[in-house]
Amino acid sequence: MEMIKKIALRILLLIAIVAVSNVIYRHTTYHADLRAESNVLLKFERAVETADALYFSASPNAAVFKDDTDKRTIAQMMDDLLPDLKLEAVDTGGIHAGVFKKLIALIPEDSDVRYVVVNMNYRSFGIGWIESVLENPIQKQLVFYNNRPPIINRFLQGLNFYDTRSAKEREELIQWHWKNDSLPFAAPRNNVTDWCALEKWGDWTNPKRQLADSYIKNFAFPITEENPRLKDFDEIVSICHQKGLKLIFVILPENLQEAEKLVGPELTSLMISNKNKLVNRYKTNEVTVIDCFGAVPDSCFTERIFPSEHYTQTGRMTVARAVTDCINR
């Protein structure tokens, strides 16, 4: 009995220490930690205080093309096109629906946010992105995106309470999926590895061959019910539904012209079929899906050595207009 009393007293002391630590932490290094490890949460916390609409995006929102005269991001363009609505971007490079869902869940009940616009990046459904080496820092950030006292989230981060698979393990997984995930074509186009081995554009030293490979690796995949990204988007739908938020998915433009030129119509047909699956899946769930998949021509893509969703000012305006037209309707 004596021992139980002693232990109980110490447990209470421990709780008090953690509570005081939380207060000290919030007022000292918490924001520095957010800036260093989770800058998107910092953006979110600021945006949610003032915005009517939040725009969740990865790097496609950035405006870095040197020849652009209009340096506005997609979000800034949308905000200018919607004078009655305050729209703020919650964005940073490499993030995806797995991050967006955590942030959307943190939107407070009493906030003014009515619209949630989420970029649906087709490439993010592929295994190359799902198991990217960027995933570890993203998973590390995610620990902070939980509705717990900040000190507990920080402690869990210190305990590495996130997916810490090594780059080697992730690479092995990617290679396994490229070899074993079946594509709806006859051999050798029935999996990514064999498809990539097909001779086209000469040997591996040819930049076009390398780019064609990147297109196959990034865009050729089946989207099954087990796809983690699909589950993330499903969760976003249900969170917005619970919170009574108007949800808009924007299927981002991909460079279909380049894909067809480099690899062939098999790839673009697979991409379009996958995209249609996504449109059909979410249109039935009281979500507005804006399909910009083929809306931007090759000339509006800024990256020439790797497939990406980075657009010139014209491309960004195309996406911005599509979203604002929808909101205005």
Partner 1 sequence: MLFDSVQFLLFLPAVIALYFILPHRLRWIFLLVSSYYFYGCWKAEFLVLLLYSTFNAYFISLRIEQAASLFTRRAWLITGLVSNFSVLFFFKYFNFFIGSRDYFKTFAGQHPKVEWVTQVLEYGIPVGISFFTFQAVGYTLDIYFRQAKAEKNFFKFALFVSYFPQLVAGPIERFTHLHQQLFAKHKLVYENLSNGFRLILYGLFIKMVIADNLAPLADPVFTNPLAYSQTDTILALLFFSLQIYADFHGYSLIAIGVAGIMGIKLMDNFKTPYLAVSVKEFWARWHISLSTWFRDYLYVPLGGNKVSYFRWMVNIMIIFLVSGIWHGANYTFIVWGALHGFMYLAEQVFVRAGWLQTKNRFFTGIGFVKTFLVINIAWLFFRSDTLAKAYLSLAKIFGSEPTADLYYRIQHFEHGKANQAVDDAFLNGKLVPAELTLHNSLFIGLAILIVTELWIQKSRFDQRISTWNFGFRWLVYAVLIYCVMALSGPDFYQFIYFQF
Residue appearing with tokens 């062939």: 264
- The answer to whether 140 contacts partner 1 (rule: CB under 8 A) is yes
CB of residue 159 vs partner 1: minimum separation in angstroms?
5
CB of residue 189 vs partner 1: minimum separation in angstroms?
24
- C-alpha span between 100 and 103 (Å, rounded): 5
CB of residue 56 vs partner 1: minimum separation in angstroms?
24
HSE at residue 253, side-chain half, CA atoms within 13 A, is 28
Q: Are strands 115-120 and 246-251 parallel, antiparallel or unpaired?
A: parallel
Residues 8-27 that bind partner 1 (CB under 8 A): 13-14, 17-18, 20-21, 24-25
CB of residue 32 vs partner 1: minimum separation in angstroms?
8
Stretch that binds partner 1, among 147-155, 233-241, 268-276, 317-325 (CB under 8 A): 147-155
Nearest-10 Cα torsion for 218, 219, 225, 226? -10
Stretch that binds partner 1, among 156-164, 244-252, 281-289, 291-299 (CB under 8 A): 156-164
CB of residue 164 vs partner 1: minimum separation in angstroms?
4
Site string for partner 1, 27-46 (x = CB under 8 A): -xx---x---x---------
- The answer to whether 175 contacts partner 1 (rule: CB under 8 A) is no
- C-alpha span between 75 and 88 (Å, rounded): 7
User: Which residue, 140 or 243, is less far from partner 1 as judged by CB?
Assistant: 140
Return the SS3 of 139: helix
The binder of partner 1 chosen from 73, 157, 218, 318 (CB under 8 A): 157
- What residue spans of the chain are helical by DSSP H? 2-27, 30-37, 39-50, 74-81, 97-105, 127-130, 135-142, 150-158, 167-180, 192-197, 207-219, 228-243, 256-262, 265-283, 313-328
- The answer to whether 201 contacts partner 1 (rule: CB under 8 A) is no
Buried-exposed string 92-109: b where 16+ CB fall within 10 A, e elsewhere: beebbbbbbbbbbbebee
CB of residue 138 vs partner 1: minimum separation in angstroms?
13
- Which residues is 91 bridged to in the sheet? 57
- The answer to whether 6 contacts partner 1 (rule: CB under 8 A) is yes
Which parts of this chain interact with partner 1 (CB under 8 A)? 3, 6-7, 13-14, 17-18, 20-21, 24-25, 28-29, 33, 37, 136, 140, 151-152, 154-161, 164
